[in-house]
Chain A
Amino acid sequence: MAETARDPGKMQVSDEVAIQITAMNKWYGTFHVLRDINMTVRRGERIVICGPSGSGKSTLIRCINRLEEHQTGQIVVDGTELTSDLKNIDKVRSEVGMVFQHFNLFPHLTILENLTLAPIWVRKTPKKEAEEVAMHYLRKVKIPEQAAKYPGQLSGGQQQRVAIARSLCMKPRIMLFDEPTSALDPEMIKEVLDTMIELAQEGMTMLCVTHEMGFAQAVANRVIFMDQGQIVEQNEPREFFNNPKSERTKLFLSQILGH
Chain B
Amino acid sequence: MTEPSYLRDTVLPQLPPPLVDRGIIKWIRENLFSGVLNTFLTLAGLAAVWWLLAASLPWFLHGVWDANSLGECRSIIAAEFGEGAQGACWAMLRERWHQFIFGFYPPEAYWRVGLAFVLLFVALAPVLFTEVPRLLLWGTVIYPALGYWLLWGGSIWGPVVAMAGFGLLALVFKLLRPLLGVPVAGGLGFVAAVLWWLFAQGPVAGLLAGVMPVGLVPVESDRFGGFLLSIVIGVTSIAASLPLGILLALGRRSDMFLVKTLSVAFIEFIRGVPLITMLFTASLLLQYFLPPGTSFDLILRVDILVTIFAAAYLAEVVRGGMAALPRGQYEAADALGLDYWSAERLIILPQALKISIPSIVSTFISLFKDTTLVSFVGLLDPLKGISTIVRADMAWKGVYWEPYLFVGAVFFVLCFSMSRYSMYLERKLKTDHK
Contacts of A97 in B (CB 8 A): 335
Q: Give Cα A100 to B330, complex, Å.
A: 12
Q: Is the CB of A104 within 8 A of B339?
A: no
Q: Is the CB of B328 within 8 A of A100?
A: yes
Q: Is the CB of A118 within 8 A of B338?
A: yes
Q: Which of B90-98, B196-204, B272-280, B342-350 contacts A (4 or more CB under 8 A)?
A: B342-350
Q: Give Cα A98 to B330, complex, Å.
A: 13
CB of B61, distance to nearest CB on chain A (Å): 51
Q: Determine if A241 is an interface residue (Cβ-Cβ < 8 Å).
A: no
Q: Is the CB of B433 within 8 A of A106?
A: no
CB of B208, distance to nearest CB on chain A (Å): 39
Residues of A157-175 contacting chain B, CB below 8 A: 166-167, 170
Contacts of A93 in B (CB 8 A): 334-337
Q: Using CB atoms and an 8 Å cutoff, list the residues of chain B in contact with chain A.
A: 326, 328-329, 331-332, 334-339, 342, 346-347, 350-351, 354, 429, 431-434
Extra contacts, 5 of them, besides A86-B339, A152-B431 (Cβ < 8 A), are: A67-B334, A93-B336, A106-B329, A117-B336, A121-B342
- Report if A90-B328 is in contact (Cβ < 8 Å); known contacts: A106-B347, A107-B351, A117-B346: no
Q: Is the CB of A94 within 8 A of B347?
A: no
Contacts of A107 in B (CB 8 A): 351, 431-432
CB of A172, distance to nearest CB on chain B (Å): 10
Q: Determine if A65 is an interface residue (Cβ-Cβ < 8 Å).
A: yes
- Report if A104-B338 is in contact (Cβ < 8 Å); known contacts: A150-B433, A152-B431: no
Q: Give Cα A90 to B341, complex, Å.
A: 13
Q: Is the CB of A105 within 8 A of B332?
A: yes
Q: Is the CB of B350 within 8 A of A108?
A: yes
Q: Is the CB of A100 within 8 A of B351?
A: no
- With a 10 A CB-CB cut-off, give which of A96, A98, A105, A107 has the most chain B CB atoms: A107
Q: Determine if A72 is an interface residue (Cβ-Cβ < 8 Å).
A: no
Q: Is the CB of A153 within 8 A of B433?
A: yes
Query: What does the 1/0 interface line of A117-140 toward B look like (CB < 8 Å)?
Result: 110011000000000000000000
Q: Is the CB of B336 within 8 A of A166?
A: yes
- The 6 A-B pairs of least Cβ separation, nearest first, read A94-B337, A104-B332, A104-B328, A118-B336, A93-B337, A98-B335
Q: Determine if A190 is an interface residue (Cβ-Cβ < 8 Å).
A: no
Q: Is the CB of A121 within 8 A of B346?
A: yes
- Report if A108-B351 is in contact (Cβ < 8 Å); known contacts: A100-B332, A152-B431: yes
- With a 10 A CB-CB cut-off, give which of B334, B337, B434 has the most chain A CB atoms: B337
Contacts of B429 in A (CB 8 A): 108
Q: Determine if A102 is an interface residue (Cβ-Cβ < 8 Å).
A: yes
Q: Is the CB of B433 within 8 A of A122?
A: no
Q: Is the CB of A104 within 8 A of B342?
A: no
Among the listed A65, A86, A108, which residue makes an inter-chain contact with B335, where contact means beta carbons less than 8 Å apart? A65
Q: Give Cα A102 to B329, complex, Å.
A: 10
Q: Give Cα A81 to B338, complex, Å.
A: 19
Give the interface size bracket for A toward B. 20 to 34
Q: Is the CB of A150 within 8 A of B431?
A: yes
Q: Give Cα A100 to B328, complex, Å.
A: 8
Contacts of A150 in B (CB 8 A): 431-433
Q: Is the CB of A102 within 8 A of B328?
A: yes
Ordered by A's residue number, 6 sampled pairs between the chains whose C-beta atoms are within 8 Å are A93-B336, A100-B332, A104-B332, A106-B329, A108-B351, A117-B338
Q: Is the CB of A122 within 8 A of B337?
A: yes
Residues of A63-88 contacting chain B, CB below 8 A: 65, 67, 86
- Report if A106-B432 is in contact (Cβ < 8 Å); known contacts: A118-B338, A122-B342: no
CB of A128, distance to nearest CB on chain B (Å): 18
Question: Quick one: closest B residue to A154, CB to CB?
Answer: B433
- With a 10 A CB-CB cut-off, give which of B334, B335, B342 has the most chain A CB atoms: B335
Q: Is the CB of A106 within 8 A of B339?
A: no
Q: Is the CB of B331 within 8 A of A100?
A: yes
Q: Give Cα A155 to B356, complex, Å.
A: 27
CB of B275, distance to nearest CB on chain A (Å): 34
CB of B327, distance to nearest CB on chain A (Å): 9
Contacts of A65 in B (CB 8 A): 334-335
Contacts of A153 in B (CB 8 A): 433
Q: Is the CB of B337 within 8 A of A90?
A: yes
CB of A233, distance to nearest CB on chain B (Å): 28
CB of A12, distance to nearest CB on chain B (Å): 26
Q: Is the CB of A122 within 8 A of B336?
A: yes
Question: Quick one: closest A residue to B433, CB to CB?
Answer: A152
Q: Give Cα A105 to B339, complex, Å.
A: 17
CB of A92, distance to nearest CB on chain B (Å): 8
- Report if A121-B335 is in contact (Cβ < 8 Å); known contacts: A104-B329, A107-B431, A153-B433: no
Contacts of B342 in A (CB 8 A): 121-122
- Report if A108-B336 is in contact (Cβ < 8 Å); known contacts: A121-B342, A122-B342: no
Q: Is the CB of A108 within 8 A of B337?
A: no
Question: Quick one: closest B residue to A101, CB to CB?
Answer: B328
Contacts of A104 in B (CB 8 A): 326, 328-329, 331-332
Q: Is the CB of B337 within 8 A of A106?
A: no
Contacts of B432 in A (CB 8 A): 107, 150, 152
Contacts of B338 in A (CB 8 A): 117-118, 121-122
CB of A80, distance to nearest CB on chain B (Å): 13
Contacts of A67 in B (CB 8 A): 331, 334-335
Q: Give Cα A119 to B161, complex, Å.
A: 39
- Report if A170-B331 is in contact (Cβ < 8 Å); known contacts: A117-B346, A152-B434: no
Q: Give Cα A244 to B75, complex, Å.
A: 106
CB of B11, distance to nearest CB on chain A (Å): 25
Contacts of B336 in A (CB 8 A): 93-94, 117-118, 122, 166-167, 170
